[in-house]
Structure 1
């Protein structure tokens, strides 16, 4: 056997070993605990972002539908409080979550915490001009059959506010 053939065989064996190792590493990572935790965080973030926006929006033209949306978007003590509160009245408010982060996640217990910045555009009844304000909110979440839902939602003071 020539030196060239031996080098080619050695390179082929080395390439096969590297491909095998890469495949094994990918399989370990794909099924790993870190990946499962990251996917759970993504699910919390997606559900909570949508639900925080729903809970901070209000349609003055259809307060009953707004209340039903709030009830579907919440769980626990928050849902009970919203159910007792009734439909309410007020200006139309459209909320959009501009930034959010999962600050804690316990997959085993089915609980999570989220902090979010929400931009709320309020349109008073009649001809008044719209007003936009930013709010920081903290949500405590529970995993339910319908996804992750806030059980509490509270304002977080910004800067020197108390």
Structure 2
């Protein structure tokens, strides 16, 4: 055959496959996706934790305000003529603002009346519910159903159920009452005297 003579022992090397230009980019892309996915997961977890913490904090403030409302109503409807100073001091500890001022101004006159009547008044909270809570401003309102029992020196008793509207302010010492009054007869609040009594 005619043609070019090939040197013995030499073989033509097969053509070398060239690496595609985009090869490194394709290898780096999954790593970038993993980083982005990890960041998104971290951001979502952080948002959920923050939202969860805010919800927990709000629930804690709500429970504290309601507990203070119920305890304050109980305190201000409980008074033993034999422990008058202690009872009136507890009244003042439960109050703030205008209500505290009213209690202090009328303390002496009220003390004379209770000592003269020699009555003992005790209160039992039947139910309670917050009707408003502004956590940032530190204000709250609650309706509390209470059963008040009055005992006279001759051991006669009188029992009355009523609903109280309480306004509260958050102070350095916790939530305290700054106003307290009877709920209107036609008020349809969630708390009522026919509600189940709380455990004591």
TM-score relative to the length of structure 1: 0.76
Q: Equivalent residue for 1:30?
A: 52
Note the C-alpha offset of 1:75: 0.5
Correspondence list, 1:60-139, <5 A: 60-86=81-107, 87=111, 88-89=113-114, 90=117, 91-128=119-156, 130-139=157-166
Q: In 2, Cα distance between the equivalents of 1:135 and 1:121? A: 11
Note the C-alpha offset of 1:77: 0.5
Q: In 2, Cα distance between the equivalents of 1:110 and 1:28? A: 21
Q: Secondary structure at the match of 1:100?
A: strand
Note the C-alpha offset of 1:34: 2.6
Q: In 2, Cα distance between the equivalents of 1:100 and 1:127? A: 30
Q: In 1, Cα distance between the equivalents of 2:136 and 2:51? A: 21
Is contact 2:126-2:145 (8 Å) kept?
Answer: yes
Q: In 2, Cα distance between the equivalents of 1:140 and 1:37? A: 18
CA RMSD of aligned residues (A): 2.2
**Does residue 149 of structure 1 match 2:176?**
yes
Equivalent residue pairs, number: 138
Note the C-alpha offset of 1:56: 1.1
Greater per-residue strand proportion:
1
- CA deviation profile, 1:103-159 (whole Å, cap 9, x unmatched): 11111111100101001111112232x221101000110001111100000001224
Q: Secondary structure at the match of 1:85?
A: helix
Give the unaligned 5+ runs of structure 2: 1-40, 188-200
Q: Secondary structure at the match of 1:36?
A: helix
